[in-house]
A = this chain, B = another copy of it.
């Protein structure tokens, strides 16, 4: 039951239903009574976003991401823009950076524009700020519907569409262990919701397979290829036989290190990256990488947004499974 159904049953336009919901003086008391009766009969609770429906839309959506020069985010913005444009929406883009204050600031600024919805790209908007995230996101959700790509926060008005990083990492690590790998290096690059979920998948797979979680085998490194190579060279910690990284850049750094140490991939060390980017086909040997389903997430976000703005109710959490794209760094 949505605003269209109510309009049809009451024999009025959706604009009129919206006006009744907002108790506009432009609608006669008689019409108000009729529409309210239908709403009651149908047990219809107007969606908070149906309130302004169609009356005030600028057909503009705000997109905020930390850094559009990041490959994952650039692809996401490209897909979002494509699907939004297909339905006649313009995009206002804001790149917030990674710092908490800057993210809050970017979200507050973009809310001052007349936007129909807000899409936050990347899981950096949930998770690393702890309970603080809740505040600015729930505040934002009070003004427009907020869509979180690849992050999760339980909050009214925030809709999360994410890929199942926990499950794919759990599965990959379990397979590596089953094929005899014992010391699996985990490389991650943020404290975001998504990175934490992957870390949880890694640690639980180790535990469930009777292996200890060794903190020395977890490396947190933000600056991709050369930084990872550098860190590993400094630690001179050669004794891992597999690598799982939350980003292809991190994985390529590890690949360079392993080759430099004279060990062979995938015979001595198997390596798995994440996001299936251009880097995965650029390195040598080509990298097996998890396809985190960026295009599907973006399409799902835009379709969900349209349903919501049309007055339908949608789920607050949609999870999409990932899949491995096998190349030459795994057996």
Contact = CB atoms under 8 A, between A and B. Distances in A.
B94 A281 contact: no
A90 B91 contact: no
Given A67-B78, A69-B74, A81-B68, A225 B281 contact: yes
A174 to B, nearest CB: 28
Interface in A73-97: 74-75, 77-79, 81-82, 85, 90-95
A117 to B, nearest CB: 15
Contact of A91 (B60, B92, B284): B92
Contacts of A69: 74-75, 77-79
Given A225-B282, A226-B281, A283-B282, A85 B74 contact: no
A317 interface: no
Interface residues of A, number: 35
Contacts of A226: 281
Given A278-B279, A279-B278, A284-B259, A85 B94 contact: yes
A318 interface: no
Q: How many copies does the complex hold?
A: 2
Contacts of A281: 225-226
A225 B256 CA distance: 19
Interface in A261-291: 278-279, 281-284
Contacts of A154: none
Nearest to A249: B278
A224 interface: yes
Interface in A88-111: 90-95, 110
A82 B95 contact: yes
A306 interface: no
A302 interface: no
